[in-house]
């Protein structure tokens, strides 16, 4: 018998260890990298299995187990060494931010309700799918904005939160407590999410899987201006503190709305399971008409005294639970796999599907990302595959049908990718093409990257046309009249082979083309001429150097104020620029080492493009002449970058650390404690925002 028990125990103990590792990794990818690898349901099922095993083997208790704490989104917990992410101060929560227990069925909801006191009121709310935030108000002023972090402490992202119009900086009322905390969810609306992903797709950057990931990534950016541009919003759903108004959760939300906070209208007090389920059924359909993402319903005990009496587990409140909407997915036929080549040569497999209706739209195609993704799902043309709407927007294949004997279908014995026309790697169920499907050049795969790439930049048609499309786009050279179809037409006619050819186009060559004419030719040439005044930073972005996006190009152009300076920069020097890592630096160096690129740049220079920035302007005044000024904290009237510009414009010098030579510190809210301590020790003056603006008028 002992042998039998040991035969059972040992595999289960190993399973317990494996589950801990898998769930920790899933937490890290979800909260930190914003790249979820498990669905909520899969995560919860594995978590429950781990809880069962830990209960069976108490000798294996570990306080660091995923069952004992919530996932962490603290920037300092990231495994990456991204220096730009160290600006957020980590602050301990006044009240722990716990996660909610999830349920997926009426039976689980009924079981939860049965454990509550008789006759209890339940508040039903939409579960917004964003990033949790904790807002602290002291005397009506917003002083902290903390992420969930690890539940005990979070990152203070107040500068970014202040860019969200729906979050007030100050509450001008006399009937508010000295301190209160409001919790809620930061969200990226669907419309802004689609626009952001479209931008990233144009730059061949990885797309955000859903608005939640996009909101999370946005809130951790170091540039509040970029955060403001992306258009975040927020819904608030819980108030904490001492001496707060009201005796119920519903009353407090109504009060918060009266104070000017953004509270959802979709809140209802229910008195039975039937009312709760009717609410869930209504919003399972109606939520698709909302401007933001939701993934379920939150149920809370309404009476605050009952909440306190019910208390908490190690990770979740007993007085609240979340019901998760099931992901909408359909089974369909994978007809074939085709391949798209992007402007940087990345070869992306695409699933061509038997059309199905999903979340109100017809889905016929879905990205398959890369070779590894296809192999991990073991899918081939002829298979029936499950298709989900990722974040209700992006169709994605989540697996293939594993038919039961009663559902048997014939999987073609020779099922392969449509790359079978190309030389293939033998001995594998799925074959990825080894040569470019457009130009026949052997594909390469850079170590550490998942994608296969065509290296034939100068001879591969999609890459040539893609680079030209990028060059003329609105955020680059902004040349009207050169759209995708026109570029394809001029390429086929032999008039465009690279971006420099644009400036050799002649009216007579354009006017004779199909669907064009003299007026189109005049408009196009006017746009080409106007592009010669585009600033250096946008010209750099337009060149299409791999991984050099719009924002990165601006930062590089501030440091290297001409292409002549940039051309001779080393990778090590480039890495000193904010947001420029080793890979970007190597791509820039490689670009300037290619003789073909140098020839194109020479032609562009002769065409009159601006390859250098404006000459640096001298100070507008000498009010700060000879002064060394440190900026610390967050500000209400201007951003830190704007204050740096004001200091330089008035003859002052920006310095990063406090010393005896520091003239004064421009001190905003939440000034760094180390800078404050050093300033006090050295007797360095602190100047408020208003005092500084008065000083320079």
Q: What is the pLDDT of residues 561-610, one digit of tens each?
A: 999 999 999 999 998 887 788 889 999 999 999 999 999 999 999 999 99
Between CA 483 and CA 487 the distance in angstroms is 6
Domain final position from 324, 357, 372: 324
613 is a domain residue: no
Tell me, yes or no, whether 198 and 164 share the same domain: yes
Higher model confidence: residue 585 or residue 75? 585
Residues 339 and 318 in one domain: no
Dihedral of the CA atoms 453, 543, 575, 657 (nearest 10)? -150
The model's confidence at residue 196, banded by pLDDT at 50, 70 and 90, is: confident
Average pLDDT, integer, range 253-257 = 94
Residue 456 lies in a domain: no
Threshold 0.85, pTM exceeds: no
* Cross-strand pairs, 390: 394
The band of 193, judged by pLDDT with boundaries at 50, 70 and 90, is confident
Structural domain contains residue 73: no
Q: Is the pLDDT of residue 165 over 80?
A: yes
pLDDT at residue 694, rounded to an integer: 87
Q: Is the pLDDT of residue 34 over 70?
A: no
Stretch 607-621: mean pLDDT, rounded? 74
DSSP at 515: T
Q: Are residues 424 and 500 in the same domain?
A: no
Residue 107 has pLDDT above 80, yes or no: yes
Range of 75-89, 301-315, 647-661 with top mean pLDDT: 301-315
Has residue 429 been placed in a domain? yes
CATH code at 652?
3.40.50.10190
| pLDDT value for 70 | 56
Looking at residue 394, which CATH number applies to its domain?
A: 2.40.50.140
Q: pLDDT category, 217, cuts 50, 70, 90?
A: confident
Q: Give 416's pLDDT tier (boundaries 50, 70, 90).
A: very low
Residue 94: closest CA among 181, 161, 33: 181
Q: Which is higher by pLDDT, 416 or 348?
A: 348
Q: Residue 252 and residue 262: Cα distance in Å, rounded?
A: 13
Do both 405 and 525 map to the same domain?
Answer: no
* Of 450, 483, 503, the domain-final residue: 450
How would DSSP label each residue in 593-609? T-HHHHHHHHHHHHHT-
Which domain CATH number covers 26?
1.10.287.610
Q: Do 290 and 306 have their domain in common?
A: yes
Count the residues in the chain.
697
User: Same domain, yes or no, for 309 and 382?
Assistant: no
Q: How far apart are CA 257 and CA 134, in angstroms?
A: 16
Range of lowest pLDDT (308-312, 397-401, 418-422, 450-454)? 418-422
pLDDT at residue 320 in the model: 93
One domain, residues 304 and 392:
no
The CA dihedral of 379, 382, 383, 384, to the nearest 10 degrees, is: 140
What does the pLDDT look like over 498-524, one tens digit per residue? 999 999 999 998 988 888 888 888 989
Same domain, 50 and 90: no
Helices 40-56 and 2-31: crossing angle in degrees, nearest 10, is: 140
d(CA 617, CA 645): 11
- Taking a C-beta distance cutoff of 8 angstroms, is the pair 209, 35 a contact? yes
Q: Are residues 249 and 315 in the same domain?
A: yes
For residue 61 the two structure tokens come to 């208790």
pLDDT of 81 > 50? The answer is no
- Mean pLDDT for 450-469 is 91
Q: Are residues 563 and 657 in the same domain?
A: no
Q: Is the CB of residue 551 less than 8 Å from the CB of residue 579?
A: yes
Q: Of 175, 182, 210, 183, whose CA–CA distance to 196 is shortest?
A: 210
Is residue 455 in some structural domain?
no
| pLDDT value, residue 89 | 87
- The answer to whether 306 and 120 are in contact (CB under 8 A) is yes
Q: Is residue 392 a part of any domain in this protein?
A: yes
Residues 572-585, buried b or exposed e (16+ Cβ, 10 A)?
A: eebbebebbbeebb
The pLDDT of residue 59 is above 80: yes
Rounded distance between C-alpha atoms, residue 36 and residue 56, angstroms: 29
List 17, 21, 94, 127, catalytic entry: 127
Q: Which of 429, 450, 471 is the last residue of a domain?
A: 450
What is the extent of the structural domain holding 22? 2-68
Q: How confident is the model at residue 396 (pLDDT cuts 50, 70, 90)?
A: confident
**Which region holds residue 311: left if phi is over 0, alpha if psi is between -120 and 50, else beta?**
left
343 within a domain of the structure (yes/no): yes
In whole angstroms, give the CA distance from residue 183 to residue 185: 7
Chain centroid to Cα 312, Å, comes to 32
Judged against a pLDDT cut of 50, whether residue 425 lies above it is answered with: no
Query: What values do phi and psi take at 131, rounded to 5?
Result: -110, 125
Contact of 491 with 477, CB cutoff 8 Å: no
How many domains is the chain built from? 5
697/695 Cα distance (integer angstroms): 6
Q: What is the pLDDT of residue 663?
A: 92
Are 91 and 186 contained in the same domain? yes
Output 293 or 33, whichever has higher pLDDT: 293
445 and 397 in one domain? Answer: yes
Query: Whole-angstrom Cα distance, residue 591 to residue 574?
Result: 13
User: What is the SS3 string spanning 118-168?
Assistant: CCCCEEEEEEECCEEEEEEEECCEEEEEEECCCCCEEEECHHHHCCCCCCC
For residue 687, CA distances in Å to 79, 104, 668, 676, 684 come to: 37, 55, 9, 12, 10
At 672-682, the pLDDT tens digits run: 666 787 888 88
To the nearest 10°, report the CA torsion of 662, 666, 671, 672.
Answer: -30
Q: What is the CATH number of the domain that holds 231?
A: 3.30.470.30
Which backbone phi and psi does 24 adopt, to 5 degrees? -65, -45
What's the Cα-to-Cα distance from 164 to each of 182, 193, 261, 521, rounded to whole Å? 15, 15, 12, 44
| Mean predicted confidence (pLDDT) in 210-230 | 85
Rounded CA-CA distance 234/317 in Å is 23
Task: Look up 678 and say whether it is catalytic.
Answer: no
Using 50, 70 and 90 to split pLDDT, how confident is the model at 224? confident
DSSP string, 405-441: GGG--PPPTT---GGGGS---TT-SS---SB-TTT-P
| Contacts within 8 Å (CB) and 24+ apart, 175-180 | 175/245, 176/137, 176/140, 176/259, 177/241, 177/242, 177/243, 177/244, 178/138, 178/139, 179/136, 179/137, 179/138, 179/241, 179/242, 180/137, 180/239, 180/240, 180/241, 180/244
In a domain, residue 621? The reply is no
């Amino acid at each position: 018998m002992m042998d039998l028990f040991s035969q059972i125990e040992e595999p289960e103990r190993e399973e317990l260890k494996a589950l801990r590792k898998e769930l920790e990794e899933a937490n890290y990818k979800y909260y930190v990298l914003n790249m979820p690898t498990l669905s909520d349901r899969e995560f919860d099922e594995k978590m429950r299995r781990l809880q069962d095993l830990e209960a069976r083997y108490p000798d294996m208790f570990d306080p660091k187990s995923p069952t004992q704490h919530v996932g962490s989104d603290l920037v300092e917990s990231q495994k990456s060494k991204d220096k730009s992410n160290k600006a957020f101060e980590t602050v301990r929560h006044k009240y722990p931010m716990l996660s909610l227990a999830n349920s997926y069925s009426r039976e689980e909801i009924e079981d939860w309700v049965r454990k509550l006191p008789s006759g209890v009121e339940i508040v039903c709310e939409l579960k917004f799918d964003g990033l949790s935030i904790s807002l602290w108000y002291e005397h009506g002023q917003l002083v902290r904005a903390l992420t969930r972090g690890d539940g005990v402490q979070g990152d203070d992202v107040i500068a970014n939160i202040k860019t969200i119009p729906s979050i007030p900086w100050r509450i001008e009322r006399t009937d508010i407590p000295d301190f209160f905390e409001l919790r809620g969810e930061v969200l990226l609306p669907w419309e802004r999410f689609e626009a952001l992903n479209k931008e990233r797709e144009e730059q061949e950057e990885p797309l955000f899987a859903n608005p939640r990931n996009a909101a999370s990534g946005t809130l951790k950016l170091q540039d509040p201006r970029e955060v403001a541009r992306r258009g975040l919003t927020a819904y608030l759903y819980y108030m904490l503190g001492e001496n707060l108004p009201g005796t119920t959760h519903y009353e407090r939300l109504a009060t918060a709305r009266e104070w000017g906070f953004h509270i959802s209208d979709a809140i209802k007090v229910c008195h039975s399971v039937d009312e709760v389920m009717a609410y869930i059924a209504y919003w399972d359909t109606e939520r698709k008409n909302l401007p933001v993402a939701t993934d379920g319903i939150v149920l809370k005990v309404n009476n605050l005294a009952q909440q306190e009496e019910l208390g908490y587990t190690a990770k979740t409140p007993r007085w609240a639970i979340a019901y998760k909407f099931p992901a909408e997915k359909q089974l369909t036929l994978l007809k074939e796999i085709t391949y798209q080549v992007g402007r940087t040569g990345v070869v992306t497999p695409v699933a061509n599907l038997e059309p199905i209706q999903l979340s109100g739209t017809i889905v016929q195609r879905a990205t398959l990302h890369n070779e590894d993704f296809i192999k991990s799902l073991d899918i081939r043309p002829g298979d029936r595959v499950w298709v989900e709407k990722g974040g209700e927007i992006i169709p994605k294949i989540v697996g293939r049908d594993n038919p039961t004997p009663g559902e048997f279908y014939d999987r073609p014995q020779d099922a392969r990718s449509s790359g079978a026309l190309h030389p293939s790697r033998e001995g594998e169920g799925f074959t990825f093409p080894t040569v470019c499907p457009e130009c026949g050049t052997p594909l390469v795969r850079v170590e550490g990257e998942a994608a296969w790439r065509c290296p034939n930049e100068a001879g591969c048609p999609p890459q040539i046309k893609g680079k030209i499309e990028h060059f003329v786009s609105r955020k680059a050279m902004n040349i009207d009249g050169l759209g995708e179809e026109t570029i394809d037409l001029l390429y086929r006619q032999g008039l465009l082979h690279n971006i420099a050819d644009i400036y050799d186009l002649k009216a007579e060559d354009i006017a004779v083309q199909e669907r064009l004419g003299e007026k189109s030719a005049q408009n196009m040439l006017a746009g080409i001429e106007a592009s010669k005044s585009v600033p250096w930073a946008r010209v750099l972005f337009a060149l299409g150097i791999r991984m050099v996006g719009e924002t990165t190009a601006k930062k590089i152009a501030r440091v290297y104020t001409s292409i002549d300076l940039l051309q001779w920069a080393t990778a090590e020097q480039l890495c000193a620029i904010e947001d420029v890592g080793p890979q970007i630096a190597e791509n820039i160096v490689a670009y300037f080492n290619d003789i073909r690129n140098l020839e194109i740049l020479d032609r562009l220079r002769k065409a009159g493009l601006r390859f250098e920035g404006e000459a640096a302007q001298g100070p507008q005044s000498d009010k700060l002449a000879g002064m060394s000024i440190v900026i610390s904290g967050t500000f209400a009237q201007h951003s830190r970058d704007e204050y740096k510009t004001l200091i330089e414009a008035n003859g002052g010098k920006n310095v990063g650390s406090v010393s005896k030579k520091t003239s004064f510190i421009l001190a905003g809210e939440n000034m760094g404690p180390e800078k404050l301590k050093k300033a006090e020790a050295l007797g360095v003056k602190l100047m408020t925002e208003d005092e500084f603006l008065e000083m320079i008028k």
